[in-house]
Amino acid sequence: MASQTLLELQLSNQSQLSPLNTTSCDNAREAWDLLHQVLPIFILTICAFGLLGNLFVLSVFLLLRRQLTVAEIYLVNLAASDLVFVLGLPFWAQNIWNQFDWPFGDLLCRVVNGVIKANLFISIFLVVAISQDRYCVLVHPMAAAGGPWPSRRRRRRRRARATCMVIWAVGALLSTPTFLLRSVSAVQDLNISACILLFPHQAWHLARIVELNVLGFLLPLAAIIFFNCHILASLRGQGEVSQTRFGGPKDCKTTVLILTLVAAFVVCWAPYHCFAFLEFLFQVRVVQGCFWEEFIDLGLQLANFFAFTNSCLNPVIYVFVGRLFRTKVWELYQQCTPRRPAPLSSSHRKEVLQRF
């Protein structure tokens, strides 16, 4: 997924004996030179903030001595997914500095790109699961109820954990083609060894775009829009909803946080999926010409790493939007800080002095 440059388009088509004439389109050399210098710094900045931010979020949720709520279970998994993802970014920063000459070997080529691809699916499926949970809590609170309150909470927690396990498994499964088809291949004309996707057949282009755009974005986006439109409608009638046992002020605060996370995810990832679809149209020659070649190639690079900012943006949203999260930070601080003994009153102080 990352660094899907013109080089990959050329080599993937060369594997099907239909090479592209890349030498005729060389009007963006200055833009590529700037990209090679600026993007690695940007990527490493994302990595640093994402690493610190998601570790902070995980520590706040996991170190508190109490059980997680259903929403917190999903948010912990989202932070864990982002954390695993940002660990692969330094490899791509070095790769771009080397002008896409991959220095880390074939295994890391497959692993790093596989993790990035898995994160794409895991993140959006978790956002769908989070939206669905808020939908059930706020829109159909009575349907979410049933049975005694403690057993109901335990059942919802078990369901949330099982859902997260399934999401991680599906994300790993959908990233399997990346593990299998990514490899380091020598590019004689450019005198580099690049980490690229090599498709064995033209049909793989269609399969990839269906997996990426349809399964990885359009269908989840439709579910997210459905759930969140109903959630917003319920929040407009907040007076009525707040009377239910599930939809009190605490749930509304959690919902505002989750709506912000959903909006940030869609805004960050939508440009990447648009350029990925344009790339598919270029590969099957629906659009042609140097303008489209350079526009798609550079645009996909920038959209890629604009999407990556979502991994370090989420912790910022927790801090500035999640008032309940800030409360948990304060609870963790009090839990980790040694308690000072309460000051003695004057009568107690006299009693202690008299004993000596």
Question: Please, what is the Cα angle at 67 between 86 and 134, to 5 degrees?
Answer: 70
For 69-97, what is the mean pLDDT? 90
342 falls within a domain:
no
Weakest-pLDDT range from 13-22, 72-81, 108-117: 13-22
Structure confidence by residue, pLDDT tens digits, 312-325: 888 888 777 766 67
Q: How many domains does the chain have?
A: 1
CB atoms within 10 A of CB 328: 18
352 falls within a domain:
no
Q: Are residues 184 and 195 in contact, defined by beta-carbon separation less than 8 angstroms?
A: yes
21 falls within a domain:
no
337 CB-near residues (< 8 Å, 6+ apart): none
Which CATH number goes with the domain that contains 266? 1.20.1070.10
CA atoms within 13 A on the CB side of 62: 12
185 falls within a domain:
yes
The C-alpha R_g of the chain, in whole angstroms, comes to 25
350 falls within a domain:
no
Extract the tokens encoding 153: 């909470």
Whether residue 197 has pLDDT greater than 90 = no
28 falls within a domain:
no
pTM for the whole structure: 0.79
Q: Name the residue range of residue 169's domain.
A: 6-15+34-337
Q: Whole-angstrom Cα distance, residue 105 to residue 173?
A: 23
Q: Confidence class of residue 91 from pLDDT cuts 50, 70 and 90?
A: very high
Share above pLDDT 90 across residues of the chain, in percent, rounded to a whole number: 24
For 196-224, what is the mean pLDDT? 87
Range with the largest mean pLDDT of 68-72, 141-145, 242-246, 332-336: 68-72
Structure confidence by residue, pLDDT tens digits, 142-173: 655 555 556 677 888 899 999 999 999 999 99
157 falls within a domain:
yes
Q: Whole-angstrom Cα distance, residue 96 to residue 102?
A: 9
Whether residue 213 has pLDDT greater than 60 = yes
SS3 of 120-161: HHHHHHHHHHHHHHHHHHHCCHHHHCCCCHHHHHHHHHHHHH
348 falls within a domain:
no
For 111-123, what is the mean pLDDT? 91
Q: What are the φ/ψ torsions at residue 244 (nearest 5 degrees)?
A: -80, 160
Whether residue 238 has pLDDT greater than 70 = no
Whether residue 17 has pLDDT greater than 50 = no
CA atoms within 13 A on the CB side of 35: 21
Structure confidence by residue, pLDDT tens digits, 244-300: 444 455 556 677 777 888 888 888 989 999 998 998 888 888 888 888 888 888 888
Structure confidence by residue, pLDDT tens digits, 2-15: 444 444 433 443 33
Exposure string over 10-33, b if 16+ CB within 10 A, otherwise e: bbbbebeeeebeeeebeebeeebe
Taking Cα atoms as reference points, which of 88, 120, 121 lies closest to residue 107?
88
Q: Whole-angstrom Cα distance, residue 111 to residue 317?
A: 29
Q: What is the DSSP letter of 192?
A: E
